[in-house]
Amino acid sequence: MSKLQPVRGTRDILPEENRRFRQVTETFRGVAGNFGFEEIATPIFEFTEVFARTLGETSDIVSKEMYTFEDRGGDSITLRPEYTAGIARAFISGGLAQDLPLKFFGFGPMFRYERPQKGRYRQFHQMTAEILGVAEPQADIEIVAMGAELIRRLGVADAVTLEINTLGDADSRQTYRGVLVDYLKHHEAHLSEDSVRRLHVNPLRILDSKDEGDREIVKNAPLMSDSLTLASKSFFREVTEGLDALGIDFVVNERLVRGLDYYCHTAFEFITTSLGAQGTVLAGGRYDGLIETMGGPPTPGIGWGSGIERLSMLIDEPPAPERPIAVVPVGDDAQAAALKIAHDLRRAGLSVDMAYKGNVGRRMKRANKVNARAALILGSDELARNVVTLRDLDSGDQAEVPIAELAERLKTIR
């Protein structure tokens, strides 16, 4: 029988790394609360159409990376590769249009069949923040500021740079589309097969191509900024001036794009070089056409997603968990009383560890293994007097303490 291993691209997240995950997600939850966002949880699988319609049938995610299967009822089901489409679907199916504006946050596992790399696995974890129903640039400022505040509270601001760009409005993109097609046609012979097909269907998707040859061609493509309408320039100016007013540093990167038609105006990424090659730790943008594309009412939206794995690799080591109190019964007669004392101390908010078997020596070894702060030793003699022996495992000092006073006494040395 072969040795059991996790599926390629998946892994077990053991307690030490889970502390990092928890540090990231609890910090995120705090930031989201401060910004007035409410938590949402969507299913980890949806009908395939949810993602095919939003990400595009010809996208790499849909055509190559999604985990799609037919369930027993004959429906095509896909494990979610990203968060926003599921939230947009929830908005439509839940009839939430009358509740606008809405501010949602959430986090959970995502799934993409791609080459595993540093900080990115086939099952990975993302946080999301979304504002629905606000067309004004104030939403763009707020959503970027929320990402910047998360980065700041995690203590990694010095390792991360905010890049921002504008994708313009629909008129800007239509103009840019023509200019881009004229440029790409001169390089059609050198484009990848996928990009040649996109050139005649959705040329903006070529800007997102992962093919190295395509990327070299795109490097010299015309810039969106040359096709912007006055309204688009004004919108972007309000966003950048708003970020300046908040003291949020950024760099305008005119090559930062989004290839899907429903994206518009602000696009942004928080990037780092601290994980080796340049990596994105948080990215987002405005998607005013998304919900309408899915069959819902025209609804502006903007949001971002962030990889928990990558952020957890950047943060400092979180504080160690609270050191427990070890309860050490001496003999079988003390076992029941030890269980009761452990239970009462836990109800009082203390962390308590108790070995399941063994003599005093083995139980004290267990106390050392879990880095216990103190040990409570109780035998029949102590129990007859309603006391236990409290041993400070750092100093070695010990004293008898009445059982009724244990919780208060232990809180002074935890």
Is residue 217 in a domain?
no
Ranges of beta strands (E only) in 86-185 are 102-111, 123-132, 161-166
Residue 1's pLDDT is what? 44
Give the C-alpha distances (Å, rounded to integers) separating 279 from 108, 266, 351: 20, 20, 39
Is 212 within a domain? no
Domain count along the chain:
2
CATH at residue 355: 3.40.50.800
Q: How far apart (Å, rounded) are the C-alpha atoms in residues 9 and 112?
A: 9
Do 104 and 38 share a structural domain?
yes
Q: Are residues 365 and 407 both part of a single domain?
A: yes
pTM for this structure?
Answer: 0.88
Considering the domain architecture, whether residues 130 and 47 belong to the same structural domain is answered as yes
- Of 292, 255, 260, 245, give the one whose Cα is nearest residue 135: 292
Q: Is 400 exposed, middle or buried (0-12, 13-18, 19+ CB in 10 A)?
A: exposed
Residues 286 and 358 in one domain: no
Q: What pLDDT does 247 receive? A: 97
Domain boundary among 270, 285, 314: 314
60 Cβ contact list (under 8 Å, min separation 6): 194, 210
In the chain (414 residues long), the average pLDDT of successive 10-residue segments reads 80 92 97 98 95 69 82 95 94 96 97 78 95 98 98 95 95 90 89 85 80 88 92 97 98 85 91 79 94 94 95 91 93 90 94 89 91 93 91 92 92 81
- Asked if 307 and 20 touch (Cβ cutoff 8 Å), the reply is no
Q: Are residues 247 and 304 in the same domain?
A: yes
Task: Note whether 399 and 271 are same-domain residues.
Answer: no
